Each structure stands twice: as structure tokens, then as C-alpha cells.
Amino acid sequence: MKTADFIHDLTDWIDKNLEERLDINTVAERAGYSKWYLQRMFKEHTGSALGEYIRAKKLNISAERLANSGEPIVNVAISLGFDSQQSFNRSFKRQFGQTPGDWRKTLHSQPERSACMCS
């Protein structure tokens, strides 16, 4: 299997398993490579670090869940594998420019906005 095909299959698997306990060690074990080699290979072919890819995808899912449900923020954070609401808030703010609570309030105060500003 070509490396590009392998990376494509791996990203498909990651995307389908984001709500599982998913970290670099788990992905490396699934892929059958050392985490160091897998991270280098992933970065070479995608341009982003494996951990950043996983975190960004999880944050996009969290943004959708916050937009479409009244689920408590801490539940969203924990269910997507963040260690705490604080670490989730920091990562969310880094990606979307505001905290999950502020983002949810802003989203609901402007109904004409799309359901997810995930791009």
C-alpha cells in the first residue's frame, strides 16, 4: 500500500473514531508503527501534526454538539477525551477565538448564523 493511501485510510479511521478514547499511542498501535515514525510520516503527507489533526477534528465535533444541543460543556469535553473542562476551554478558544460558553451564547443570540463556524 502506498503511503498516501495508508494516510488516507488512517484519517478515515480517525474521523470515524473521534468519540472514542483516541490519542497518538492508540492511533500508532492501530497503524502498526511506532508513534515517532507515524507522526513524522503523517506530517510529511498532510502538513499537520497527528495530534493537532485529532484535536482539531474533536473540536469541530464539539462545536457542532454545542450548537445543536443543550448538552453541558463539561459533558462534551469529557466525552471527546479532554482531561478537563479547563483544557477543553483552552483548546476551543485557541481554535475558535472564544470559549465554548461564549461561542454558544454568540451562536444562539444570532440565529441567522450557520449552525457551525468550524472552518
Please say if the pLDDT value at position 119 is more than 50. Answer: no
Please say if the pLDDT value at position 4 is more than 50. Answer: yes
Nearest CA to 49 out of 40, 60, 58, 57 is that of 40
Give the DSSP H/E element, type plus range, for residue 34. Answer: none
Provide the pLDDT for residue 118: 53
Provide the pLDDT for residue 113: 45
Provide the pLDDT for residue 45: 94
| DSSP of 54-98 | HHHHHHHHHHHHHHH----HHHHHHHTT-S-HHHHHHHHHHHHSS
Q: What percent of the chain has pLDDT over 90?
A: 68
Domains along the chain with CATH numbers: 3-109 (1.10.10.60)
Provide the pLDDT for residue 55: 93
